[in-house]
A and B are shown apart, each in its own frame.
Chain A
Amino acid sequence: LAKTTQPISMDSYEGQEVNITCSHNNIATNDYITWYQQFPSQGPRFIIQGYKTKVTNEVASLFIPADRKSSTLSLPRVSLSDTAVYYCLVGDTGRRALTFGSGTRLQVQP
């Protein structure tokens, strides 16, 4: 399973755009990149998933360069409720377990 590396923590202010980058140098051809959000004492919540280029949904965008060795989760105009831990996971299918890295603890301040 591909190992991921993310910044341990990030700080931001309300209304700003936040970009969290994840490195996954050993990503395999069949691997997808998935980002999850976790609040304290809750299970992780799916945010977005992509394979290459750019993916956008109602809450975030995911940018994946051509070599796929990294990815960037972009959260537009964060609010206090976006304070959470964000995990980048890499895996080939939802039917196989995904390995969690350390995650990025995002703190949004007023």
Chain B
Amino acid sequence: GAVVSQHPSRVICKSGTSVKIECRSLDFQATTMFWYRQFPKKSLMLMATSNEGSKATYEQGVEKDKFLINHASLTLSTLTVTSAHPEDSSFYICSASPRDGELFFGEGSRLTVL
């Protein structure tokens, strides 16, 4: 089946630094990818839609200057958390679809900001 992979799976950084998370579709091309974040014991919340070759679409309340999304190729989208702070600590998950009707999720990336 279709596979979506994220890297890194875990990252710890100091407050004020920037962290980049990669999301790759391994066996299909994805013109659109989606980024979610999930706090402990909570559901997934959509952050933004990543569009290949164009600007990402952010959900209301998500700061686009803080969560930079780049979708430079049909198999790679990156999420950069800029000037990270402890409140940005969360589980970030990306997803993509090889075709209509099926959405596959990455393994997730746990960010801890000290």
Contact = CB atoms under 8 A, between A and B. Distances in A.
B32 A43 contact: no
User: Which size bracket describes the interface of A in this complex?
Assistant: 20 to 34
B26 interface: no
Interface stretch (B66-74, B81-89, B94-102): B94-102
B43 A103 contact: yes
A38 to B, nearest CB: 8
Nearest to A101: B43
Q: Quick one: which of A34, A44, A94, A101 has the most chain B CB within 10 A? A: A94
Please report whether the interface of chain B is mostly helix, strand, loop or mixed according to DSSP.
strand
B24 interface: no
Contacts of B43: 87, 100-103
B103 A43 contact: no
Contacts of B44: 44, 87, 100
8 closest A-B pairs by beta carbon, nearest first, are: A94-B97, A43-B105, A100-B44, A94-B103, A100-B43, A93-B100, A43-B108, A97-B34
6 contacts: A34-B103, A41-B91, A44-B93, A46-B103, A95-B31, A98-B103
B105 A93 contact: no
B40 to A, nearest CB: 9
Interface string A76-105: 000000000001000001110111111100
Contacts of B45: 100
Contact of A42 (B97, B98, B100, B107): B107
